[in-house]
Amino acid sequence: MLNENCILISSFDFNELKSCLMKTPVYNQEGKEVGSTILPKEMFEVPLNIDLVHQVVVSQAANKRQVTAQTKDRGEVRGGGRKPWRQKGTGRARHGSRRSPLWVGGGVTFGPTKERVFKKKINQRVKRTALFMVLSAKARDKMLVVLDKLSLPQPKTKLMKNILEALPTKDASCLITLSKPEKDIVRAAKNLPQTATIEARNLNVLDLVSFKYLVLPKDTIKVIKETFS
């Protein structure tokens, strides 16, 4: 017989609640730990698949690649409408056009052209899964720094530098993710080496793996979940 003061909790509800919670410390701008926050497990406890992450990184890098090198083939160079000399009787090798790749000023054989396509298609679901894998790896390796808030009285680089030096990100590259456009923060972090800012809605795997630490104001976690979950 159960005591009337006992609270019945089904194992299903308990396991479900336990599986949804993951805590991480929260810092203030002075670098002091002021509490903790809950991270969604579906975003921050995803097992890492190196091959899948590599596939997404390669595709994003390829999609950003710009084709700048270009050469002209024999159909694009100027001249060549007249046969250089007659076919026989001169003692020289026969030629039909000055645009031949054998001639100086002629076309280029097998040269690079702007018609090359480097783009690689990746499904949205795969990109989202890879993003959660990298976020989970950051949280698991203590490379995720959550702030209670991030604000500056003035858009000064020195103020932003002091904040980052007080955090575990000192002397390391870091990516600051913002929940919304913050011109003062972007301007203050612009001149700091190994530091970049990005909006939560634009978060991607390539930028995450390019920096060691990920700095998140607390309200940004909700935006990431609403955007990608």
Model confidence, pTM: 0.77
**What residue spans define the domains of the chain?**
22-65+123-228, 69-117
Q: Measure the CA–CA gap between 12 and 17, rounded to whole angstroms.
A: 9
Lowest pLDDT segment from 19-23, 161-165, 183-187, 219-223:
19-23
Inter-residue contact 152 to 123 (CB < 8 Å): no
3-state secondary structure of 158: helix
- Strands 213-217 and 144-147, sheet pairing: parallel
Residues composing the chain: 229
CA distances to 141, 154, 172, 179, 180 from 169, in Å: 13, 22, 6, 20, 22
Query: Which residues have C-beta within 8 Å of that of residue 66, sequence separation ≥ 6?
Result: none
- Strands 33-38 and 23-27, sheet pairing: antiparallel
For residue 80, the model assigns a pLDDT of 79
Mean pLDDT computed over every residue of the chain: 87
pLDDT level of residue 23 (50, 70, 90 thresholds) = confident
pLDDT reading at 147 higher than 90: yes
pLDDT level of residue 117 (50, 70, 90 thresholds) = confident
- The 10 Å Cβ neighbour count of residue 9 is 9
CATH superfamily assigned to domain 22-65+123-228: Ribosomal protein L4/L1 (3.40.1370.10)
pLDDT reading at 12 higher than 90: no
For residue 173, the model assigns a pLDDT of 93
Tokens of 147: 């702030």
Q: Measure the CA–CA gap between 187 and 139, rounded to whole angstroms.
A: 27
Q: Measure the CA–CA gap between 45 and 175, rounded to whole angstroms.
A: 20
Half-sphere exposure (Cβ direction) of 207: Cα atoms closer than 13 Å: 17
For residue 9, the model assigns a pLDDT of 30
pLDDT level of residue 82 (50, 70, 90 thresholds) = confident
Q: Measure the CA–CA gap between 134 and 158, rounded to whole angstroms.
A: 30
